[in-house]
Structure 1
Amino acid sequence: MNKITIAIDGFSSTGKSTLAKQLAKQLKYVYVDTGAMYRAVTLYAMEMGYIGNGNFDIEGLINDLDKIQLKFVFNPDLGFAEMYLNDKNVEREIRTLDVSNYVSQVAEIKEVRSRLVSLQQDMGKNKGVVMDGRDIGTVVFPEAELKVFMTASPEKRAVRRYKELLDRGENVKYEDILENVQKRDYIDSHRENSPLKKAEDAIEFDNSDLGLVQQFERIYEHALRVIEKS
């Protein structure tokens, strides 16, 4: 059976990573969470003091890009790869609301996007990959055989994110989560470099009222049809 490239784009907290992990596991494909890569760069910027408290030293971050080493390391207990920043597992740290508040600003930087897009294209050059993010179907893999654009109402996405952070022990408020979701939507959709938008040949998938099982079954069945025709 031929292998294809599956690109999953969409707004924050639409469940892109969950769906991508499920598809990759079922198809025995490689899964790449590009959002984790941008979050890791953001975490580095925060730790180095380049961003925070109203300040953003963009030049400082750009000058340090060669010092930022990113890699995914498969965790057999979890069944998927985790994000490592300079040989340190940062999977938990990059999922905090603090990182979420800054990641869209970091992702706007042309030099950051250029570096990460190059890494992502190299990861998926042999196909058999499921990659999720904001610009996978439009910039990273515009020739992907299957493109999915995921969306849901900001309120539904905020509720999901709120519950996820509470489960991790974070002290957060729903109102702050909703504000963050709406702010990220605007920045992601209006940035100059690789703005979030639906590829012309992508399937738009609104999962506002769908459970994880229904969501997976629909996209998985479609993926099998695409694979069969490829």
Structure 2
Amino acid sequence: MSDPRTELAAAGARLAALGLSPGSSGNLSVRIDDRVLITPTGADLAEVDPDGLSVLALDGTHLDGPRPSKEFPLHGAFYRRDDATRAVVHLHARNATAVSCLPPWSARSAVPPLTPYFVMRVGQTPLIPYAPPGDADQAEALALLPFPLRAALLQNHGPVLAGPTMARAVDAAVELEEVSALLLSLGERSPRLLTPAEADALARTYDSPWGEH
């Protein structure tokens, strides 16, 4: 059985190698029973120490280890939304962050159904109104959204994604960055999007959150 601490550190190294976590930006967490392990404040995801993680209770109380990332309320919001969530990834990836600075495609997804893999691996990704990093009210707004989701874009800030495993959350983060790059490369042109029927069929097949827009 793999060690969650080691998996988290390996995920950080992968995301940094892909250029999705510039400098000391971004933070990762995993849930183990009623505890959350999260990267410390100012951590470089390329060099996460598996034995140097912060330990929090599900309500955000700091239990052990160094001071946690200020973004811990976002992680807690996803863990509260869905008991099956076991990992959360928050990045400042360039293309997804650029899309977070644009008007959203719809109320439920900042990104349209441009590719099947976006619908399959990420699903609807709402734009959460701007707030300073670490803002508890913004996290609460995410927690209370009345429709299913595993990803969101924080306005003028970047993506945050959740998954039942760290591998799934990382894959979703990579896919969101890719579809964001495609969207930006299209500029002002009007691309062909997946039809509602096409997107809904994928969502049903892959158990991905996608709904009425």
Do the structures match in fold with TM over 0.5? no
Return the structure number with greater relative CO, CA threshold 8 A, min gap 6: 1
TM-score under structure 2 length normalisation: 0.26
TM-score under structure 1 length normalisation: 0.25
Q: Looking at secondary structure, tell me which structure has more helix per residue.
A: 1
